[in-house]
Structure 1
Amino acid sequence: MTTASRTPWPGRPLDGDDEPAARPDPDSTPDDEPWGARLEDAVAAADAPDAVFALSRHGHRTVRTGGTGPPPPHPRDTLRYEIGSATKTFTGLLLARLTDSGRVSGGDAAVTLLDGGRPAGTAPITLAHLITHTAGLPALPAGFHARALPAWRTNPYARYPDARVIDAFLRHRPRHRPGTRWRYSNFGVAVLGHALAAATGTRWQDLIPAQLLEPLALHDTALRADTRGRDATGHGKDGTTAVPAFDAGGFQAAGAIRATPLDLLTFLEAHLDPARSPRLAGALHAVRTPVLRRGLGHRHVHTVAWFRHPTDGGPLYFHSGATLGQQAFLGFRPDTGTALAAVCTRRYRAHDPFPATAHALLAEQ
């Protein structure tokens, strides 16, 4: 466990973190062959039944697909993929959007929104604590494993519905003062989704389409499995055993979204150029703002939606995610005007090449 360097968002940006302007595009109509070859190498390195690497550079898109399995009935880049924890980038943007419109504040106490009561003590868990993983909550609620065990290899989260997530939060007593320590928590972001629903009187699964998907024209992004065969099929670590479609149960805000690679690229391109999405411009700028440092030398930097790594030219923003049978990597670099959406249909395994390959590809742009 590490100590957070500063009370997280809302607040002003951390000092010294202004982003450099994007470097001018040396070629307004770049040849995609160099990028295409590198993306093809990345697809091969993923070693998955289905893999798609989609890159946008100054709006010019290059997409490569492939896989170790037989081609699916529909082209791989038109399928919807489970993005797992990368869903948190949507939930973080939703929080920023609702904050920008004045409907909630990052300082709102989650217990008040969910239970209608006054928070106990002088340091309640706030919405900002939940999205920045500083609420003092464990990765999963107490009792989760016992309840999920019968479905551990199929759909463990489906056995923990909304009401149980909320009840577990209301019963939980943090060991540390909120805002002082960082611990990655699916539980915390799931609670945030329920708190936003309570604050607005609208379910999270309805907030996301109205507040984000429609304004960004993400027509091939959804929160539930499709019955028409347009979703990719996940596979286990062996790359051959098919697994059921993921059901997030009460953890939708932490991992429910599934989307096509091109929709994910559109989502990332909006972060590169917020001015092109006027309804969301304020929120898109907000989720690029550093709010938290942690680790040795405070080298790990976070925003309300993204992990932020330095490069020679400027910051790189990214988030990865995995379900029982699929993986995703989302990232963008404002300095080079580059975004990368990568997905594959194989369960995460030890020393998995997929996330490292995707991160390195974006870092080298």
Structure 2
Amino acid sequence: MTTPHEELLPGTRRALLHRIAVAQAEGRTPSLVATVVRDGRAVWHGARTSVDGHAPDENVQYRIGSITKTFTAVLVLRLRDEGVLDLNDPLEKHLPGTGVGEATLAQLLSHTGGLAAETPEPWWERTPGSLRPGLADVLGDRPLRHPAGRRHHYSNPGYALLGALVEQVRGASWEEVLRREVLEPLGLHRTSMRPEAPHAGGWAVHPWADVVQPEPVEEYGPMAPAGQLWSTTGDLARFAAFLMRGDDRVLAADTLREMRAPAAPAEAADLAEGSAYGLGLQVLHRDGRLLVGHSGSVPGFLANLTIALDDDVAAVVLTNCTSGPAVSQVAADLVRIVAEAEPRIPAPWRALREVDHGVLELAGQWYWGTAAFALRVTADGLVSLGPLSGVGRRSRFQPLGDGTWTGLEGYFAGEPLRVVRRADGSVDHLDVGSFVFTREPYEETADVPGGVDPEGWRGIGQVSGGRTG
């Protein structure tokens, strides 16, 4: 156990245990383990039934399937942050000769490259990777199902290509690069390509009888970057904390924020479930919460890592059956139980250490046309701009050091905010991506695009010519 269970209240601990007990019993799985992360560290671990005759703890390995893709995405983003490549680069620039090289790296990361969902037969997750020794065997004769960039279509071969890209650029195997650049810095010593004792065996459970049979454990060859890894709830708890906060030895917090942002248009079926996809991370809305993470499924194993950033809570759920428990729902429920039973206590409010009077004069009410907005200067060195009431376009803005700011989220993400001054130095208006914000609605002395009627505001009976519309 990473930290004492006593860090959660007894009622919360019992509710968590009850949830995984129901999942294990109703899902009819040989074993199920879970861990909850809060404030960047594991605070609860629970397990049902046994592995090798013992209750599985946070050090027992399970196969994590497509959670592997998030690790692969981290490696690609590291290359981008080093300046080795750009996410808008076509694959052909760095990995020539695949036949699908027009897809960009961003499209492959977000499953919008148009590639097939699976490899050609036979079923790659239940057969040896030696049957697919090269990328041509992974892609087959018809690798594309859609034009690149047109739609979201989940693709396992796409992540095999990204793994091969990492190998090409680094000049080392995907496994070696992953170990050196991610697993060792983050202390994920129980995450590996192959099972290391103690580990769970993977089982298929008969749908109509309480009997089981073992699933094969295969090496996936070139498909390893899409789903090969084994890990533990302890390691994935540490990985979740990294995904929430960042670690400059691996990826900065800004890059992880980029990974968590939806990067692909969701299909209609996904929209019904409130789900989308970022850069190696799934994004969904459930129980009124924005959740990010990834699920995993290979024969014999189901896995899920779910993060609720606003609540600073994450959950990991691992189980050793081919189908049964809805582990993504279980993880979301564990997050909800903690978030509702023990709401996050906000950090204390603190004033700015130093006041920039040039920024302070911008604080207060502004108008975009006739819509009222408020600009606030916050202790973290940012400014925020959003509607005074109701919903609407809002964003925090980060200073660039030259008197301008750039938007961090929402409609204004990446858009510039600058102060436009008059000849005497007074503020005329704010320009936010060409939108003009003035101190008064359609302020007559401000440089409002299209100008302001010289007669100004008036009553409806004062409209020239009696026009009312």
Are residues 1:31 and 2:5 paired? no
Aligned length: 320
Question: Which of 81, 85, 101 is matched with 2:62 structurally?
Answer: 81
Q: Which residue of 1 aligns with 2:184?
A: 214
Report the Cα offset of residue 190 of structure 1: 1.2
Judged with a 3 Å threshold, the aligned counterparts in structure 2 of structure 1 residues 183 and 271 are, in CA distance, closer, same or farther, namely same
Report the Cα offset of residue 57 of structure 1: 1.6
Deviations 1:201-221 (A, max 9, x none): 221111111121112111111
Distance 2:93 2:202 in 1: 39
Q: Which residue of 2 aligns with 1:138?
A: 116
SS in structure 2 opposite 1:62?
strand
Deviation above 6 Å: which 4+ runs of structure 1? none
Distance 2:89 2:317 in 1: 35
Q: Which residue of 2 aligns with 1:292?
A: 264
Distance 2:106 2:66 in 1: 18
Distance 2:231 2:143 in 1: 36
Are residues 1:125 and 2:103 paired? yes
Report the Cα offset of residue 104 of structure 1: 2.3
Are residues 1:65 and 2:13 paired? no
Amino acid at match of 1:56: V
**1:223-302 map, 5 Å:** 223-226=193-196, 229-238=197-206, 240-274=212-246, 276-281=247-252, 282-296=254-268, 299-302=274-277
Q: Which residue of 2 aligns with 1:343?
A: 318
Q: Which residue of 1 aligns with 2:80?
A: 99
Report the Cα offset of residue 97 of structure 1: 1.6
If you compute each CA radius of gyration, which structure gives the higher value, 1 or 2?
2
TM-score where L is the length of structure 2: 0.62
Question: Which of 112, 126, 151 is matched with 1:155 structurally?
Answer: 126
Judged with a 3 Å threshold, the aligned counterparts in structure 2 of structure 1 residues 198 and 336 are, in CA distance, closer, same or farther, namely same
Distance 1:196 1:95 in 2: 7
Amino acid at match of 1:97: R
SS in structure 2 opposite 1:343?
strand
Higher relative strand content? 2
> Residue 81 of structure 1 contacts residue 231 of structure 1 at CA under 8 Å; is this kept in 2?
yes
Q: Which residue of 1 aligns with 2:412?
A: none
Report the Cα offset of residue 48 of structure 1: 1.7
> Residue 81 of structure 1 contacts residue 232 of structure 1 at CA under 8 Å; is this kept in 2?
yes
> Residue 84 of structure 1 contacts residue 323 of structure 1 at CA under 8 Å; is this kept in 2?
yes
Distance 1:190 1:233 in 2: 25
Report the Cα offset of residue 315 of structure 1: 2.0
Distance 2:58 2:172 in 1: 32
TM-score where L is the length of structure 1: 0.78
**1:351-362 map, 5 Å:** 352-362=325-335
Distance 1:33 1:156 in 2: 46
Distance 1:256 1:109 in 2: 26
Distance 1:34 1:285 in 2: 33
Q: Which residue of 1 aligns with 2:384?
A: none
> Residue 182 of structure 2 contacts residue 250 of structure 2 at CA under 8 Å; is this kept in 1?
no
> Residue 183 of structure 2 contacts residue 191 of structure 2 at CA under 8 Å; is this kept in 1?
yes
Judged with a 3 Å threshold, the aligned counterparts in structure 2 of structure 1 residues 72 and 93 are, in CA distance, closer, same or farther, namely farther
Distance 1:34 1:270 in 2: 28
Judged with a 3 Å threshold, the aligned counterparts in structure 2 of structure 1 residues 125 and 224 are, in CA distance, closer, same or farther, namely same
Q: Which residue of 2 aligns with 1:25?
A: none
Report the Cα offset of residue 241 of structure 1: 1.9
Report the Cα offset of residue 76 of structure 1: 3.6
Judged with a 3 Å threshold, the aligned counterparts in structure 2 of structure 1 residues 278 and 202 are, in CA distance, closer, same or farther, namely closer
> Residue 152 of structure 2 contacts residue 265 of structure 2 at CA under 8 Å; is this kept in 1?
no
Judged with a 3 Å threshold, the aligned counterparts in structure 2 of structure 1 residues 198 and 172 are, in CA distance, closer, same or farther, namely farther
Amino acid at match of 1:203: S
> Residue 136 of structure 1 contacts residue 175 of structure 1 at CA under 8 Å; is this kept in 2?
yes
Amino acid at match of 1:133: H
Higher relative helix content? 1
> Residue 138 of structure 2 contacts residue 222 of structure 2 at CA under 8 Å; is this kept in 1?
no
- Which runs of 5 or more structure 1 residues have no equivalent in the other structure? 1-28
> Residue 36 of structure 1 contacts residue 64 of structure 1 at CA under 8 Å; is this kept in 2?
no
Judged with a 3 Å threshold, the aligned counterparts in structure 2 of structure 1 residues 166 and 230 are, in CA distance, closer, same or farther, namely farther
> Residue 35 of structure 1 contacts residue 62 of structure 1 at CA under 8 Å; is this kept in 2?
no
> Residue 125 of structure 1 contacts residue 178 of structure 1 at CA under 8 Å; is this kept in 2?
yes
Moved more, 217-226 or 241-250: 241-250
Identity of aligned residues (%): 26
Q: Which residue of 1 aligns with 2:280?
A: 305
> Residue 140 of structure 1 contacts residue 186 of structure 1 at CA under 8 Å; is this kept in 2?
yes
Q: Which residue of 2 aligns with 1:327?
A: 302
- Which runs of 5 or more structure 2 residues have no equivalent in the other structure? 1-5, 340-469
Amino acid at match of 2:16: L
Distance 2:14 2:131 in 1: 43
> Residue 303 of structure 2 contacts residue 317 of structure 2 at CA under 8 Å; is this kept in 1?
yes
Deviations 1:270-325 (A, max 9, x none): 12222x54542244333223322323496533210211123577521021111110
SS in structure 2 opposite 1:225?
coil
Amino acid at match of 1:88: K
**Higher relative contact order by CA 8 Å / sep ≥ 6: 1 or 2?**
1
Report the Cα offset of residue 265 of structure 1: 0.4
